[in-house]
Amino acid sequence: MADKTVLITGVSEGGIGSALSVAFHEAGLKVIATARNINKMANLADFGIETMALDADASKIKKLDILVNNAGAGYSHTAKELFDLNFWSAVRMIQVFLPLLMKSENSPTIINQTTVLSVIAIPWQSTYNSSKAALASITSSRRYELAPFNIKVIELKTALVASKFLDKPGVSESIVPENSIYAPAKSVVGNVLKKNPPNVIWRGETMLPERFVKDAINKVSHLNEIEKLIKE
């Protein structure tokens, strides 16, 4: 795997991008971990992982086999800001690095990180959910469009994992298993590096179908209280 290069966006200490960087590195790949703030990736220096501020250094990348579009946000932003980060940034990354992926003879792959909330309705998160649903949809289309060029397109659909993602302002707290982030990351890498990887990789604490959690969702989101006030 030493001749395979993977670029991961949205990497910061304690996040899924950081865990994936370590997992790919331990699998023997050359990892390029990227973020807008390079200081957020200082922990990766101990692993010997290359880091860069992607906005400034993208032109320096001359070889690429795997692109992981991990950057995203789930906290309170305007609809445009969330779509710019969760959807349009991934579209732009594919446009920029597609020429390098087309040159790869080493199982070129694109991985787009979405969420189970792209298929499960949760109140107060409609903009976030829809931005990820849009990414899930374009991932499926890109899979067909790039198949003739031997480029695999995988959707990484995650539920709750132990990361700092929920530390962002405006994101509700959830109870997740301690130190669970690296085991899922290693299993994701294992699936990605298979000869015939799955089109969609599901990881994280799975959620029950909506019909089983509707009452719980209404209670947690206080929608039941709002409904009572409206009817009074």
- Nearest alpha carbon to residue 22 among 4, 3, 43: 43
Cβ atoms of 185 and 20 closer than 8 Å: yes
- Tally of CB atoms within 10 A around 86: 27
Cβ atoms of 23 and 1 closer than 8 Å: no
Residue type, 63: K
DSSP-derived letter for residue 171 is: P
Cβ atoms of 40 and 11 closer than 8 Å: yes
Known catalytic residues?
128, 132
Distance, CA of 24 to CA of 145 (rounded, Å): 26
Residue type, 143: R
Question: Hey, what's the torsion of the CAs at 146, 147, 150, 151, to 10 degrees?
Answer: 50
Q: Which helix (H) or strand (E) holds 8?
A: strand 5-8
Beta bridge partners of 202: 157
- Nearest alpha carbon to residue 4 among 99, 97, 108, 94: 108
